[in-house]
Structure 1
Amino acid sequence: MGSDCLNTESVKDEDLIKLGRAVIETEAAAVAALTNRIDDQFVVACRLLLQCEGRVVVIGMGKSGHIGSKLAATLASTGTPAFFVHPGEAGHGDLGMITADDTLIALSNSGETDEVNQLLPLIKRRQIPLVAITGNPSSTLARAASVHLDVAVDREACPLGLAPTASTTASLAMGDALAIALLEARGFTAEDFALSHPGGRLGRRLLLRIEDLMHPSADTPQVYPGTGLADALVEMTRYGLGMTAIVDHDQRILGIFTDGDLRRALDKNVDVHQTPIEAVMTPNPRHVERQQLAAEALAMMEEKRINALLVADADSRLVGALNMHDLLRAGVV
């Protein structure tokens, strides 16, 4: 019966919830079953991939191909150079993309996918290591592989038992296990990750330094001790950073005066025309150095609940300023 003839109103809300939960439970069980299969074979697979002097090439057809493409992307972004090759295209020239220095990962739930298995003689002839991820340890692909990782599931989450669901989830989880094990083994760091994700928020948080965002000293409001509060307010207004630094004649930071300090001073009925800035400033303020990560400045602002920081050199001389708006514009927040 065509879908246009179905009476969707006959499906109860609780039935939809029950079906959705059943899928999650089935797939969760499939992934949980993989725990006992992280064994010596898994170690061999990791060693093969770590010893690869070229790139890891991932192949797979259909839904396995989609999982393989994601696996290749995960490997590439976590320190293991990798790319995906469609096995159908490999047999028509793309096999030339694979070199003798590479290592292959082949995904096939049945282990009998024609487009994949047709490549096995050529892979064997070139002595390219092969990691097979299948749900059938006795399959052609599993037997031809250098090492086989078993991702068999008891049943699919699809009630018809047809659509790849639990099996693809299991393959995805096994691929992630490989990628993260390799990441740890290579000593891959958060900064390494950011270098391959410079356009993302994480990349900005981990790569941007304070010197990339700060206002230089020439654009930072600053006054000397003895300056009247009224004149200091004029200096603050001129630069629009919501604060001013108080420095000595060697540019060493003595204090900071912010919008918050102004509110507190006004609450105490301080005379803005008679009060020197050092009487109301915050002395010896926390500051950062220009080489520090912008994320460190953000953490300090959040911890101290402040909106601006002075930037100083190793001798506490003023070199610039940074405020929360700068971090927001740069996408660090």
Structure 2
Amino acid sequence: MGGIVDFDVCFPSATADIHDMHVASGVAVADLAAITHTESFPVLAPDEQSWQLAHRAAVRLLDRVEVERGAIRQVIYAGSGEWDAPFWSPAAKVAHELGIENAHCFEITNFCNAGLTAMWLATESRNLKPGEYTLVLMGDRLSQMLDYSDPDSKALFNFGDAGAAVLLAHHDLSFRLLHSEMRTDPSWVDYYKGETREGRVVIRRGPHRRGLADAYVENFTRLVGETLRTLERDVSDVSYFLINQGDKSMHERMLDNLGIPADRSVFNYDRLGHMGGADTLIALQDLVEQRRLRRGDLILLATSSMGFTWGITALEYSG
């Protein structure tokens, strides 16, 4: 069974500020604060690209683990599919900058669920052989696809940016990947979509439709149940439940619905926005750095994405 050898997360250099959002959108600062829960959070600067964040995270990771570049057989870049340049491979770009010249480089698009999808597919793949590695990169430019002058998009104004790198293998694991359960409800496919405005892609919401909050709770609860049944575990066995930081009230509602105490999760809303697919890795990194994990801990990562897709990934801490 494969899993995570190590991982790293990198933040951009600029910040988004809700007072600037207020000026652009006309939405009251208090209403924006109720969405972001912080006055500012990291976003890409105008001269930064998302692949650079993923590259910096990968450099730190590979320097720390000291893996031979030739042992990395796959490089997967995961995100929304709106890369820094059209008709272009960010996976190949990062691999080249890292000196990885003998790997299969490709992209996986599943928005903020893409990173965990890539990890699941890679660990299940027969291409991940003993002694070899897969490097999963996460990167997006979500903040640059927002139109702060559009008040109908205010629910997305907490979108920030981060890059991440995860090294996968069948040996020397920090976290074993035990199981993944994912599903998509395609009836929501047109609720959000991008359109080109003044030479850039911006995200637009379609006509308002009730029920998305309930769909989050129903799907996450269902997938948690299926995961625990597969593992022959119970909710009481879950050491930590980490969720994409898209909506704090949804986060709290899910914990309450599952009967998991708040101290068995991680809340970063006071300093970060929704940092794309890196959210759950940031929370996992916090647990590692704060020495809150014990060998054998069961950790559930709850991820979601446009489309709409929901996923639960079960990890076991190996130490």
**Bin of the TM-score, shorter chain as denominator length:** under 0.3
Which entry has the higher C-alpha Rg, 1 or 2?
A: 1
Q: Given the two structures, how large is their TM-score scaled by the length of structure 2?
A: 0.24
Which protein has the bigger strand share? 2
Which protein has the bigger helix share? 1
